[in-house]
Each structure stands twice: as structure tokens, then as C-alpha cells.
Amino acid sequence: MFDDLNDLYQQVILDHCKKPRNFHEMPQATCSAQGHNPLCGDQLKLFLAMDGDTIKDASFVGSGCCISKASASLLTAFAKGKTKADVEKMFTQVHDMVMTGKFTGDVGKLAVFAGVHKYPARVKCAILAWHAVMGALKGDAGSVTTESEQI
Ligand code: ZN
């Protein structure tokens, strides 16, 4: 289904989809947010354990397509030990990347989603977890939906 995606990138996405990292509830979370992408049916809940502005731990639960799960898996792996500002900056870079396919900075492993810009319906799947983490960081305990965002 992703003929144009680099094979290596595709393998990373499939690996994180089949074996999502940090895929569990977090009773000790200090904030959380739900994400919903009605277009595809992706639903996830993201948990963060904050210590001041630093993310000590991150996890998620939910169901959805491969792209949304892999994105949440890579996001939670990235977020651990990062600050709120780090995540906000990366959100912008990942958002630009999945919209345009161009890089505006070093996104590390998250580069695997660059090819997603060729599949407009999939952009929302890739960015869903990022909207959820931004919602959680804002202390917005409600749910975020990709439909309310101009993405
Ligand atoms: Zn999806």
C-alpha cells in the first residue's frame, strides 16, 4: 500500500505497528489526552508523566491503522526525557514533514513518516498522536480530533 515509501522506512513503520512501544495505560500519568481521527477510525489515548517541564514517561493505548500506531509508538519513544519545548518544536517539524515531505530540521527516526505526505488521507493518521501529546501538554484533558484542525 506504500509503494513509494522507502523500504527501510516501511519496515520501521510495520515493526512499530506490530510491536508498539510504550503501549500500556499509565496510572501515574500527570496528564493525558485522547485523539480521534474519524476519517480513518483511529482512536488513541496518550499518557504523560511530567516532572516540571520534563517528560519522565510516555505511553499510549488505543486502536487504529498501522500508521497511527507506529506514529504514537515512535512519539512516545521520542518524548521520554524531553522537555515540553522539545516536543512542541518537534511537533512543528513533524507536521511540516508529513504535509510537504520536506525536512526543516533533524527529526531522527521520525523521518520514516516523510513519505506519508503523498497520501493525504494518511497525514491525519501520522499526526494524530502529535495532536494528542500537544493536548496533554496544554493540560487539555479533553479529546482532540483531527477534524477540528486545519491539517
Ligand atoms: Zn489511520
Query: What CATH number should be reported for the domain holding residue 7?
Result: 3.90.1010.10
Task: Give residue 52 CA to ligand 1 midpoint distance, Å.
Answer: 32
Task: Give residue 126 CA to ligand 1 midpoint distance, Å.
Answer: 7
Residue 130 maps to a domain: yes
Quote the pLDDT of residue 1.
Answer: 47
Residue 76 maps to a domain: yes
| CA dist., res. 95 & res. 134, Å (int) | 12
Beta-strand (E) ranges in the chain?
31-37, 42-51, 54-63, 143-145
Range of the domain at 40: 2-143
**Total domains, the chain:** 1
Task: Give residue 9 CA to ligand 1 midpoint distance, Å.
Answer: 17
Residue 148 maps to a domain: no
Residue 35 maps to a domain: yes
Assign 139 a pLDDT band (cuts: 50, 70, 90): confident
Residue 124 maps to a domain: yes
Residues 81-98, mean pLDDT to the nearest whole number:
97
In the chain, how many H helices and how many E strands? 4, 4
- Kindly report whether the global pTM for this prediction surpasses the value 0.85: yes
Task: Give residue 38 CA to ligand 1 midpoint distance, Å.
Answer: 9
